[in-house]
Amino acid sequence: MVNITTHYINGQFVESKGQEKFGLINPSSNQLLGHVTLGNVEDTQDAIAAAKAAFKTFSTTTREERLDWLQRLYDALKARAQPLSEAMVEEFGAPVKKSPIAAAFSTDEFLHVKKALSNFNFVREMGNAKVIFEPLGVTAVITPWNSNALFICRKMGTAIAAGCTTVIKPSEMSAIQTQVLVEALHEAGLPPGVFNVVVGRGDVVGAELTRHPDVAKISFTGSTATGKTIAKGAVDTMKRVTLELGGKSANIILDDADFAKAIPLAIMNAFLNNGEACNAGTRLLVPEDRLDEVKKSIKHAVEQVKVGNCLDEDTFIGPLVSRKQYERVQGYIKSGVEEGAELVTGGLGHPQGLSPKSLEEGNFVRPTVFANVTRNMRIAQEEIFGPVLSILTYKTDEEAIEIANDSIYGLYAYISSSDMERANRIASQLQVGRVSINGAPHDTGAPFGGFKQSGIGREYGEIGLEAYLEPKAILGS
Ligand code: NAD
């Protein structure tokens, strides 16, 4: 049994002052893996004090020094990629084929930040002024459970590149992954207090970080509801915020697309990370007169997707992270049926034939596709965060754009087409932070973030780094 009782404060693992024990559950079986002792307000304040003290010197370090720290963090985590990957399987339910990739993506975040830092211009001429980009101060990093390590590495790495120090509050449901990660990062030997980690509840540790006057910025990834609470709290001390929030991304297949490629891509985009991905393409928009063909090929393809044992090499979808998430997704499948959508494949309950038998106790969901979904249905509007795909139809490009934009969210969109001019014209009219045409992969040099209620600000590259800096204009210099 795992028993995590420490936080990482001022370069040391220190016993939690909080007393509450939180159970860590294996989502594949709902068996208890162990406990983590949650931090309290005092732990959080200790971490903030350490980060504040470290900021004095760390904010004056040179670009070369920070590049060196980032490389050391990368090297330290790379050496522990295997245990990190194993923790993702055990605690999150990542299929074993995917978890090494997720661990490598997390590690690589330090290299992406290095690249942005290498090219960044900290002193610029603007008007008659010299403008200096200075580190903001202590940054609070708050992460969700669906890619905890990746977000910690990205946000902490960017803060370090900017010369900021951090207090990290990971998801309490990712304590094992966090422990492996922090033990690895400790080996990099950064000055004490540059990064601090307190595992705890959002409404305790997260709320103190939001409230505390010595925190200058919050970088948050999580749900839109929590993002709003943080933004409201942060304004009292005028903290800067970067909010990466929910999504309900549209995937538009145009009539000139290669459907043999577009359909498998649509399934990949909808079900990535067990369907627990902010940028999942969960609204599939297809030409009305091609619906029957799409339904047939989607049904066939989805029924080939293997759901089940994370340890099997051919598993594509593992369990949902918690019983709560499982019930939530079941609720959406039920609502789709009740609101009159057509169930193409999947449905309520567990998939058949889970092996070994213990998996029947896990949070496995049948990958589900609905057709004849209308714009006002909950399954067309709300973020489900599970492997559920809603198919809607359109008659014209204008209608496809209108449906895609008919959302409170605006994180991502996907387009499949053989006509690049047409695809680009549509992309330019979508109210989203990113558009991927014909499966173009994620690019860490380009900004990532949402329009509308998908967030505030951007991560990655020059724009991402600027969000941790304050411009100061010096006139007459
Ligand atoms: P969540 O909002 O419930 O929790 C996220 C983090 O916020 C956790 O660490 C939690 O403890 C903390 N928190 C909760 N209440 C808080 C409060 N009052 N003050 C401060 N912190 C608080 O989200 P989740 O369920 O962990 O993650 C899933 C959500 O994250 C989905 O909505 C998903 O779309 C979103 N997400 C967005 C992105 C993106 O880049 N846009 C990426 C991944 C996930």
The CATH number covering residue 378 comes to 3.40.309.10
Q: Is the dihedral of CA 42, 244, 238, 217 positive or negative?
A: positive
The rounded Å distance from CA 222 to ligand 1 centre is: 2
Average pLDDT of the residues in 160-170: 98
Residue with tokens 């998801």: 171
pLDDT of residue 405 exceeding 90, the answer is yes
User: How far is ligand 1, taken at its centre, from the CA of residue 220, in Å?
Assistant: 7
Alpha-carbon gap, residue 241 to 306, rounded angstroms: 39
CATH number, domain containing residue 68: 3.40.605.10
Q: What is the mean pLDDT of residues 24-49?
A: 98
HEC secondary structure over the chain: CEEECEEEECCEEEECCCCCEEEEEECCCCEEEEEEECCCHHHHHHHHHHHHHHHHHHCCCCHHHHHHHHHHHHHHHHCCHHHHHHHHHHHHCCCCCCHHHHHHHHHHHHHHHHHHHHHCCCEEEECCEEEEEEECCEEEEECCCCCHHHHHHHHHHHHHHHCCEEEEECCHHHHHHHHHHHHHHHCCCCCCCCEEECCCCHHHHHHHHHHCCCCCEEEEECCHHHHHHHHHHHHHHCCEEEEECCCCCEEEECCCCCHHHHHHHHHHHHHHHHHCCCCCCCEEEEEHHHHHHHHHHHHHHHCCCCECCCCCCCCCECCCCCHHHHHHHHHHHHHHHHCCCEEEECCCCCCCCCCCHHHHHCCCCCCEEEECCCCCCHHHHCCCCCCEEEEEEECCHHHHHHHHHCCCCCCEEEEECCCHHHHHHHHHCCCCCEEEECCCCCCCCCCECCCHHHEECCECHHHHHHCCEEEEEEECC
Domain identity same for 36 and 171: yes
Give me the chain's average pLDDT, please. 98
The residue-averaged pLDDT of 85-99 equals 98
Q: What is the number of residues in the chain?
A: 477
Dmax over CA atoms of the chain, in Å, equals: 75
pLDDT for position 248: 98
How far is ligand 1, taken at its centre, from the CA of residue 189, in Å? Answer: 29
Measured between alpha carbons, how far is 273 from 263 in angstroms, rounded to an integer?
18
Residue 242 CA to residue 401 CA, distance in Å, equals 27
| pLDDT one-digit tens code per residue, 246-266 | 999 999 999 999 999 999 999
- What are the distances in angstroms from CA 286 to CA 42, 235, 275, 412? 53, 42, 20, 17
- Burial of residue 134 (CB within 10 Å: 0-12, 13-18, 19+) is middle
Rounded to whole angstroms, how far apart are CA atoms 94 and 257?
31
Please tell me whether residues 261 and 363 are part of one structural domain. yes
| Cβ 383 under 6 angstroms from ligand 1 | yes
Given phi > 0 = left and psi -120 to 50 = alpha, else beta, which region is 461? left
Q: Is the beta carbon of 221 within 6 A of some atom in ligand 1?
A: yes
Q: With a 6 A CB cut-off, is 226 part of the ligand 1 pocket?
A: yes
Mean pLDDT of 408-425: 98
Evaluate: CB of 411 within 6 angstroms of ligand 1.
Answer: yes
Q: Ligand 1 pocket check: which of 168, 226, 432, 452 to mutate, most ligand atoms within 8 Å of Cβ?
A: 226
Q: Is the pLDDT of residue 41 over 90?
A: yes
Mean pLDDT of 454-460: 98
- Ligand 1 atom closest to Cα of 201? 11
- Please tell me whether residues 127 and 140 are part of one structural domain: yes
Residue 339 and residue 278 share a domain: yes
d(C-alpha 307, C-alpha 296), whole Å: 20
Shared domain check, 254 and 238: no
Nearest to 165 by CA among 113, 106, 111, 217: 217
Are 124 and 241 in the same domain? yes
Q: Answer yes or no: do 411 and 467 share one domain.
A: no
**Residue 152: CB within 6 Å of ligand 1?**
no
Residue given tokens 């030409």 in the structure block: 287
* Atom of ligand 1 at shortest range from CA of 209: 20
Residue 310 among the catalytic residues: no
Using one digit for the tens of pLDDT, what is the confidence trace for 235-248?
Answer: 999 999 999 999 99
Task: Let me know whether 239 and 255 are in one domain.
Answer: no
Tokens coding 180 = 């492996």
- Summarize pLDDT for 112-158 with one digit per residue, the tens: 999 999 999 999 999 999 999 999 999 999 999 999 999 999 999 99
Q: What is the pLDDT of residue 477?
A: 86
Average pLDDT over residues 309-336: 98
Dihedral sign from CA coordinates of 267, 268, 270, 276: positive
**What is the average pLDDT across 444-461?**
98
Report yes or no on whether pTM surpasses 0.75. yes
Q: Do 231 and 203 have their domain in common?
A: yes
Are residues 97 and 221 located together in one domain of the fold? yes
Q: Are residues 214 and 342 in the same domain?
A: no
Rounded to the nearest whole angstrom, what is the distance from the C-alpha of residue 247 to the centroid of ligand 1? 12
CA gap 167, 194 in Å, rounded:
8
Q: Measured from the CB, is residue 407 less than 6 Å from ligand 1?
A: no
| Catalytic choice (86, 90, 91, 244) | 244
Q: How much is the pLDDT for 116?
A: 98
Number of domains the chain contains: 2
Helix axes 148-162, 175-186, angle to 10 degrees: 40
How remote is the CA of residue 286 from the centroid of ligand 1, in Å? 31
Q: How remote is the CA of residue 415 from the centroid of ligand 1, in Å?
A: 27
206 lines ligand 1 (CB under 6 A): yes
Same domain, 120 and 140: yes
Structural domain span for residue 322: 250-445
Give the pLDDT band of residue 192 (cuts 50, 70, 90): very high
Would you call 278 a catalytic residue per the annotation? yes
232 lines ligand 1 (CB under 6 A): no
Torsion of CA 368, 373, 377, 379, to 10 degrees: 20
